[in-house]
């Protein structure tokens, strides 16, 4: 198999990402329905967390004030689909049906081509699924406006890193299908873990300190939602804020490396299923 040179590689990556974007932009009605659902959950979670803050001494829950908490909730609702926390079974399905064989014939390694498509999906979700909850949230609740100049750019970096972490995690649980044939178990566990451990249900710092530290650093999930939300709400000083993004970067790099290794191992043993 010929591998592409650098320039061709960039062009191909761009084309794959664009087609990923277009693929999602065809489901217009489902996009609207999904954004509506994110908004309803935004109201729910926002009221609950604000009631918790109101009942806490000083109105601070886990060190976030009411505006930061509201922002936390609405950013979280926006990011669910942007980072793509749930519902990706494409690779596992293709492994089970044997269609993955076609991916291996292409001159682009599967990890790269799936990543390109996922970044296209990310771009589409950023426009259609991140913006609506943020706008609704801003209309109905006082949200936190970042004070530091570096916060917004750092937030964008953090969201991209979160998407990489999420992609790599999803790729790995899907790739278990190379060995298990049916990856529903691992995918289910990933889905289950990511909701609570990414900080979607409640900010992780509501937990005891040792547990929070463990979940921020020792597991990748916080990188998908908790850390981007912390960055935007300026929960910590500039140093820790940047440090959290660095933790995300380490996880993203590590998991993507693991994806490449796992894919390589799989290719050396793969017996294509079906016809």
Partner 1 sequence: MADLRAYGALIGGQFRSIASYRVSFLVEMSSNAMTTALDITTVLVLFGANRSVAGFSLAEALLVASLSSLGFALADMLVGNVDHLKTYVRSGLMDVILVRPLGSLWQLLCMDLPFRKALRVVLALVVLGVAIHLNDVDWTPGRVALLVLSPLAGLVFFGAIFVLSASLAFWWVDSGELGSAFTYGGRDFTSYPVPVYAGWFRAVFAYALGFGFVAYQPALALLGRTDPLGLPAWAGYLSPLVALVAAVVAALVWRAGVRHYRSTGS
Is 7:39 a contact under the CB 8 Å cutoff? no
Query: 150 or 188: whose CB is closer to partner 1?
Result: 188
Q: Could you say whether residue 41 binds partner 1 (CB under 8 A)?
A: yes
Binds partner 1 (CB under 8 A): choice among 9, 12, 13, 48: 48
**Is 104 among the residues that bind partner 1 (CB under 8 A)?**
no
13 interacts with partner 1 by CB under 8 A: no
Q: What is the rounded distance in angstroms from the CA atom of residue 64 to the CA atom of residue 243?
A: 19
Which is closer to partner 1, CB of 27 or CB of 257?
Answer: 27
Residue 273 contacts partner 1 per CB under 8 A: no
CA 236 to chain centre: 21
The Cα–Cα gap between 162 and 214 comes to 18
- Tell me which of 8, 27, 217, 257 binds partner 1, using CB under 8 A: 27
Binding residue (CB under 8 A) for partner 1 from 206, 242, 260, 262: 206
- CB of 88 vs partner 1, minimal distance in Å: 15
C-beta of 84 vs 109, nearer to partner 1: 84
* 185 sits near partner 1 (criterion: CB under 8 A): yes
User: How many residues line the site for partner 1 (CB under 8 A)?
Assistant: 35
Per-residue x/- marks for partner 1, 58-97, CB under 8 A?
Answer: ---xx-----------------------------------
CB of 116 to partner 1, least distance (A): 25
HSE (side-chain half, CA atoms, 13 Å) at 191: 12
Let me know: does 152 contact 146? Beta carbons within 8 Å. yes
Cα gap 70→41, rounded to integer Å: 12
Contact range with partner 1 by CB under 8 A, out of 25-33, 109-117, 147-155, 224-232? 25-33
Query: Which residue in the set 9, 43, 89, 156 belongs to the binding site for partner 1 (CB under 8 A)?
Result: 43
Cα distances (angstroms) measured from residue 59 to each of 62, 64, 70, 201, 208 = 10, 8, 13, 19, 18
Helix ranges (H only) for 80-225 are 90-97, 100-105, 110-125, 131-140, 151-175, 177-180, 184-197, 209-217
Tokens of 75: 């950013």
Sole binder of partner 1 in the list 8, 37, 148, 217 (CB under 8 A): 37
Q: Is 30 in the site for partner 1 (CB under 8 A)?
A: yes
**Look-up of token digits 């426009």:** 127
Q: Does the footprint of partner 1 cover residue 189 (CB under 8 A)?
A: yes
Q: Is 23 in the site for partner 1 (CB under 8 A)?
A: no
- Residue closest to 79 by CA, chosen among 248, 260, 257: 248
Segment 55-64 long-range contacts (CB within 8 Å, at least 24 positions apart): 61/203, 61/206, 62/203, 62/205, 62/206, 63/205, 63/235, 64/203, 64/205, 64/233, 64/235
List contacts with partner 1 (CB under 8 A): 27, 29-31, 33-34, 36-37, 40-41, 43-45, 47-49, 51-52, 54-56, 61-62, 182, 184-185, 188-189, 192, 195-196, 201-202, 206-207
């Amino acid at each position: 198999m010929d591998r592409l040179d650098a320039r061709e590689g960039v062009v191909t990556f761009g084309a794959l990402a664009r087609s990923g974007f277009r693929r999602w932009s065809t489901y217009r009605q489902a996009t609207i329905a999904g954004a509506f659902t994110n908004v309803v959950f935004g109201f729910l979670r926002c009221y609950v967390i604000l009631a918790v803050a109101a009942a806490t001494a000083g109105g601070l829950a886990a060190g976030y004030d009411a505006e930061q908490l509201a922002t936390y909730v609405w950013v979280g609702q926006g990011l669910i689909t942007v980072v793509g926390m749930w519902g990706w079974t494409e690779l596992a399905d293709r492994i089970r049906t044997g269609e993955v064989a076609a991916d291996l014939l292409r001159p682009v390694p599967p990890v790269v081509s799936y990543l390109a498509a996922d970044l296209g999906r990310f771009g589409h979700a950023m426009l259609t699924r991140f913006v609506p909850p943020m706008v609704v949230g801003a209309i109905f609740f006082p949200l936190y406006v970042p004070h530091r100049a570096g916060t917004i750019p750092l937030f964008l970096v953090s969201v991209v890193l979160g998407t990489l972490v999420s992609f790599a995690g999803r790729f790995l649980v899907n790739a278990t299908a190379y060995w298990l044939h049916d990856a529903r178990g691992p995918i289910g566990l990933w889905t289950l873990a990511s909701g609570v451990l990414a900080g979607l249900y409640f900010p992780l710092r509501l937990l005891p300190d040792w547990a929070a530290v463990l979940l921020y650093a020792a597991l990748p999930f916080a990188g998908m939602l908790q850390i981007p939300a912390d960055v935007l709400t300026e929960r910590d000083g500039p140093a820790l804020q940047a440090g959290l993004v660095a933790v995300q970067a380490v996880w993203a790099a590590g998991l993507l490396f693991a994806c490449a290794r796992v894919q390589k191992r799989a290719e050396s043993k793969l017996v294509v299923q079906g016809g």
